[in-house]
């Protein structure tokens, strides 16, 4: 358990805190939740830098790092969907969460065939993550509409939140297409090999 892994574990432990402050019946509760989300997002970059710079990369870290990201993003999207209860957030959230599940399953499946490199992180996915984190931060920071004295007071936060969210959705679909296209020949060849083995048996 090195420093990089401790930072990753800290990100996971922040999820209950984010949920707690999100529902705390005080005016500064959701702002605090947004700041917690921002700290976690920054720590995501920092723990990776620490692991690479000080040679602290480990199997545990490789497992925990994507798990921490996906748990925080999924939890935050669920909170926002519950708060706003609109298709304009529910649909993007469904796309983003579905993509994460699909790509994670694809990586696990490809690892069994020793082809995990076929689904290594691409640049588009990194930009997608930045847009995704920015969208969630702005929407969390905007607060509950009923608590905003004037709807125009935080309207720019909503506008930028939605802009980043839909850019993230577009990049989400694009990156998933890249992964599927890269692994499709391997998926098909494995399927044919399985059929051949079954026929021989």
Interatomic CA distance for residues 175 and 181, integer angstroms: 10
Structural domain harbouring 106 = 3-200
| CATH code of the domain containing 37 | 1.20.120.1760
Q: How many residues does the chain have?
A: 201
Query: How many domains does the chain fold into?
Result: 1
- DSSP alpha helix (H) spans, 85-154: 87-112, 123-142
Distance of alpha carbon 23 from alpha carbon 19, whole angstroms:
6
pLDDT (tens digit per residue) in 157-175? 888 999 999 999 999 999 8
Confirm whether pTM is higher than 0.85: no
- Give pLDDT, residue 161: 92
- 49-53, 60-64, 90-94, 113-117: least confident range: 113-117
């Amino acid at each position: 358990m090195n420093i990089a892994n401790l930072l990753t574990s800290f990100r996971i432990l922040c999820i209950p805190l984010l949920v707690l402050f999100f529902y705390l019946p005080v005016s500064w509760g959701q702002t605090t939740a947004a700041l917690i989300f921002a700290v976690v997002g920054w720590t995501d970059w920092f723990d990776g830098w620490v692991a690479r710079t000080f040679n602290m990369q480990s199997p545990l870290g490789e497992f925990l790092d994507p798990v921490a990201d996906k748990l925080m993003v999924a939890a935050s999207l669920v909170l926002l969907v519950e708060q706003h209860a609109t298709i304009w957030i529910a649909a993007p959230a469904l796309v983003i969460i579905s993509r994460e599940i699909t790509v994670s399953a694809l990586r696990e499946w490809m690892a069994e065939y020793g082809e995990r490199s076929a689904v290594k992180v691409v640049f588009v996915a990194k930009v997608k993550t930045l847009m995704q984190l920015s969208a969630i931060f702005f929407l969390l920071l905007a607060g509950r509409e009923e608590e905003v004295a004037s709807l125009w007071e935080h309207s720019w936060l909503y506008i930028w939140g939605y802009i980043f969210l839909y850019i993230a959705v577009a990049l989400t679909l694009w990156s998933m297409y890249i992964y599927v296209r890269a692994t499709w020949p391997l998926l098909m060849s494995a399927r044919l090999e399985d059929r051949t083995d079954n026929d021989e048996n």
